[in-house]
């Protein structure tokens, strides 16, 4: 570098780096300001924050209730021991409580072993039922939590069945996988867990895949043990209509719907929750009766027909209806009797008033007559 006199001058490396950085900073284009959130996005954030606060409050409330219950039981136990006079009676009471606890633990252990045995048999020989969990990116956080609760209920219902099905969870990765892995004891569930999609995990049995969707035209008459029935794991509040049917068509697999319309009328759409569909399938496997399965699982608020599927209940409802109509007729008869009595009373009062007013009218008429002799 030369100065004004033409002489060579040297600068340090740090100075050159500082000059270079300064030049770069001055030549950078201005950064655009961050766009403000829309009102809808702000409402979503506020709603999510309220949900988290409410969830934390509910959790704290449940914890506090549990603590109070434990304290109450402890006080009752201490009072029970204090009311006993001799040490021998106290020891006998303590020993009886230990025996009861031991029996309860043995009973639970036996039930757990029976449940494991049933689920193992269901995994080997049960009806294949797949829950498709590839829609997690389309759901809101509260909808995702709702789906996880439904999956928990599916597993609980299946474990209580005398002949459980072979449950599959496919697409257990990403956000959905994180939610499931946070469930207590999920790693011990006797269930098929696949990170892959069902189309990849069951590629060799593609011809047996049947996607259950309310948008299908084919009605399911019976459950085929060789078929693998797929349920869409989607809680969308009717935002993604026809999505599962479209997916089945794109993948080239069969689609069918439950024969709900053949047995009852729904008050709204025929879309059910995941756990309701699983429970209906398990009930049908047990009873081989679609109507009974629907009426035992689908809540009353979703049905609009009068048929309950239970003859005894229908008779009770009919008797109640007759009692109500009889009561109404009795009330009408009483009202009509009251009205007739009232009208008769009005007639009597009217005649009485007329009888009172008649002499007065006669007096007035006589006073208005001309006096003779004047």
Q: What range defines the domain where residue 213 resides?
A: 124-313
Using DSSP's 3-state secondary structure scheme, residue 362 falls into helix
State the pLDDT at residue 334.
Answer: 45
In a domain, 285, yes or no: yes
Domains held by the chain: number: 1
* Domain assignment of residue 262, yes or no: yes
- DSSP for 93-150, please give it: HHHHHHHHHHHHHHHHHHHHHHHHHHHHHHHHHSPEEEEE-TTGGGS-HHHHHHHHHH
Output the domain CATH number for residue 169: 3.40.1280.30
Other Cβ atoms less than 10 A from the Cβ of 215: the count is 17
Does residue 70 belong to any structural domain of this protein? Answer: no
| 358 located within any domain | no
Residue-wise pLDDT for 69-125, tens only, equals 999 999 998 888 888 888 888 898 889 989 999 999 999 999 999 999 999 999 999
Asked if the structure places residue 206 within a domain, the reply is: yes
| Residue 170 forms part of a structural domain | yes
Q: Does any domain span residue 20?
A: no
Residue 156 belongs to some domain of the structure: yes
- Please determine, for residue 370, whether its predicted confidence score (pLDDT) is greater than 60: no
What rounded mean pLDDT belongs to the chain? 78
pLDDT of residue 55: 86
Considering only 48-52, 74-78, 125-129, 314-318, which range has the smallest mean pLDDT? 314-318
Q: Indicate the helix (H) or strand (E) that contains 193.
A: strand 192-194
């Amino acid at each position: 570098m030369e100065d004004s006199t033409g002489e060579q001058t040297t600068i340090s490396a740090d100075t050159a780096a500082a000059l270079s950085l300064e030049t770069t900073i001055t030549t950078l284009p201005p950064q655009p300001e961050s766009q403000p959130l829309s009102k809808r996005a702000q409402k979503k954030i506020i709603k999510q924050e309220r949900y988290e606060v409410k969830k934390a409050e509910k959790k704290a409330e449940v914890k506090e209730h549990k603590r109070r219950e434990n304290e109450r039981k402890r006080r009752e136990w201490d009072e029970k021991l204090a009311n006993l006079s001799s040490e021998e009676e106290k020891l006998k009471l303590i020993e009886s409580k230990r025996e009861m606890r031991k029996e309860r633990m043995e009973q639970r252990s036996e039930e757990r072993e029976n449940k494991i045995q049933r689920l193992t048999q269901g995994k080997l020989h049960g009806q294949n039922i797949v829950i498709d969990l590839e829609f997690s990116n389309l759901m809101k956080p509260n909808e995702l939590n709702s789906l996880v609760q439904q999956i928990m209920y599916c597993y609980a219902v299946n474990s209580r069945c005398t002949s459980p099905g072979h449950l599959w969870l496919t697409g257990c990765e990403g956000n959905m996988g994180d939610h499931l892995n946070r469930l207590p004891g999920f790693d011990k569930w006797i269930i098929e867990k696949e990170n892959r999609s069902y189309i990849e995990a069951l590629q060799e049995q593609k011809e047996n895949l049947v996607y259950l969707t309310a948008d299908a035209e084919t009605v399911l008459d019976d459950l085929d043990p060789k078929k693998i029935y797929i349920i869409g794991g989607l809680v969308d509040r009717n935002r993604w209509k026809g999505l599962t049917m479209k997916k089945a068509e794109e993948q080239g697999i069969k689609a069918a719907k439950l024969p709900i319309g053949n047995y009852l009328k729904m008050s709204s759409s025929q879309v059910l929750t995941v756990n309701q569909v699983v429970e209906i399938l398990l009930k049908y496997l047990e009873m081989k009766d679609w109507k009974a399965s629907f009426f035992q699982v689908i809540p009353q608020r979703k049905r609009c027909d009068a048929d309950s599927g239970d003859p005894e209940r229908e008779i009770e409802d009919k008797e109640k209806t007759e009692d109500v109509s009889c009561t109404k007729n009795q009330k009408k008869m009483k009202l009509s009797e009251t009205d007739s009595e009232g009208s008769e009373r009005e007639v009597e009062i009217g005649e009485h008033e007329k009888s009172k007013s008649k002499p007065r009218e006669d007096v007035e008429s006589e006073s208005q007559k001309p006096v003779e002799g004047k």
